[in-house]
Amino acid sequence: MQKTNKLRWAVGLALAIPLALAAQQKGSPILFTNPSFEGIPKCCEAPSGWYNCGKSEESPPDIQPGFFQVTKAPSHGETYLGLVVRDNDTWEAIGQRLPRPLEINECYEFSLDLCRAELYLSLSRTTGDEVNYATPAKIRIYGGMGYCDQREMLYETPLITTTRWLTYTFRLTPKKGTYPFLYIEAYYKTPTLFPYNGNILMDNATPIKQIDCNMKPMEPPGIASVDKPNQPPTTGPKKPDTPPITIVKPAPAPAISASNEKISREGLKKGSTIRLENVYFDADKYVIKPECVSALMVVYDFLVENPDVVLEVGGHTNNRPSPEFAETLSTSRAKSVADWLVNKGIPGERVQYKGYGKKYPVDTNTTPEGRKRNQRVEIKILSING
């Protein structure tokens, strides 16, 4: 009798475990193998868990940092993936079989940290000369029936121009089939007039989560939203000689005199905020306008004259965009200002950036003037006097 009970228990357990696992798997996130692209840094070898999907006559992607003058620190873990596009019309790609397929007409999301290396030195495939593979490229994601099958494009990013890690969230909705494989490639700017040498760095893939298809997707930088066109912010009608920069402190602070054309460090301390009232953008854009350069030069001069200062560029929007797009757009605008300062020669470790979306308005959103003021860029002092 005891043996019979044990046998029944074992049979019941054997039947219950697959059912429990199947139930758990159905609603659980889809986990990547080696999502952070960890491995021993090396040239020309895809990380463990990922399959090389590049051209057979070309080298595979690289486990970075440490090769081709790529030195950027990872966003997560110890290593990351380097992908390139080449001037001979070839590009690098990877694939992976998923533990659970992406179902047709279902919606999924996952994120990757992406950026571009300032230096990625290698030989040109057309000339044989050493060149810098630094031209911006994009990421394209496909679902397929094999490791390198491009059965259906599920997502395409804008060009990855940032040289700092930025998290991109992808909405995947298969329309043509159910796919057990995911394929990710670096690709050129489209339309592609001619192939060129470029790179993308990739790190920290999050699990793929199944989501409600009615959820509004997070827009990538530069995609149109319902936000209104930006205009130079004002502080009210009939106020002459509005200064381009205003100090904002815990208590109201006087404006910096426009005639000085500089930021004085007097009264500044950690946490002080400088509002750049003459830095604005076209609707849904994050490209710095030529007429904003003079205001940015004031910040640049301040940083040159005060090498002990570390600051954060903060981007803000009004309440018109969705929360997801407001955060993405404000981050991209803050990054544009930070990149401008770094490209002028300010060390990158002294300039951080962050998008705050529409969380911290400084005026009402019920009037055009108030929305203009809320659509702003600010500089916050993170460190002063070392």
Burial class (CB in 10 A: 0-12, 13-18, 19+), 385: exposed
Q: What percent of the chain has pLDDT over 90?
A: 51
Distance from C-alpha of 162 to C-alpha of 121, rounded to nearest angstrom: 18
Q: Going from the N-terminus, what domains does the chain have, and what CATH number goes with each?
A: 51-211 (2.60.120.260), 245-383 (3.30.1330.60)
Distance from C-alpha of 186 to C-alpha of 138, rounded to nearest angstrom: 6
Q: Given this model, what pLDDT does residue 333 score?
A: 86
Q: What is the pLDDT of residues 206-261, one digit of tens each?
A: 999 999 888 776 655 433 333 333 333 334 444 444 444 444 433 333 333 333 46
- Residue-wise burial string across 256-266, b where 16 or more C-beta atoms lie within 10 A, e elsewhere: beeeeeebebe
Cα 239 to the chain's mean position, in Å?
39
Q: Given this model, what pLDDT does residue 229 score?
A: 34
Average pLDDT, the chain: 82
Distance from C-alpha of 335 to C-alpha of 324, rounded to nearest angstrom: 17
Q: What is the pLDDT of residues 140-192, one digit of tens each?
A: 999 999 999 999 999 999 999 989 999 999 999 999 999 999 999 999 998 88
Q: Which residue has the higher pLDDT, 353 or 245?
A: 353
Q: Given this model, what pLDDT does residue 261 score?
A: 66
**Token reading at 338:** 């930070």
Q: Given this model, what pLDDT does residue 149 score?
A: 95
Q: What is the pLDDT of residues 7-44, one digit of tens each?
A: 554 545 455 444 444 444 556 899 999 999 999 999 99
Q: Given this model, what pLDDT does residue 218 score?
A: 61
Integer CA distances (angstroms), 11 to 22, 37, 149, 352, in order: 17, 40, 40, 60
Place of tokens 């076209």: 282
Q: Given this model, what pLDDT does residue 193 score?
A: 86
Q: What is the pLDDT of residues 297-321, one digit of tens each?
A: 989 999 999 999 999 999 888 888 7
Q: Given this model, what pLDDT does residue 250 score?
A: 37
Burial class (CB in 10 A: 0-12, 13-18, 19+), 127: exposed
Q: What percent of the chain has pLDDT over 70?
A: 80
Q: How confident is the model at residue 279 (pLDDT cuts 50, 70, 90)?
A: confident
Q: Given this model, what pLDDT does residue 256 score?
A: 35
DSSP result, 236-292? STT--S--SEEEE-SSEEEEPPTTT-S---TT--TT-EEEETT----TT--PPPGGG
Question: In the predicted model, what is the mean pLDDT of residues 276-282?
Answer: 75
User: 121-125, 259-263, 333-337 — which one is most confidently predicted on average?
Assistant: 121-125
Q: Given this model, what pLDDT does residue 321 score?
A: 78
**Token reading at 233:** 């912010």
Distance from C-alpha of 113 to C-alpha of 80, rounded to nearest angstrom: 10
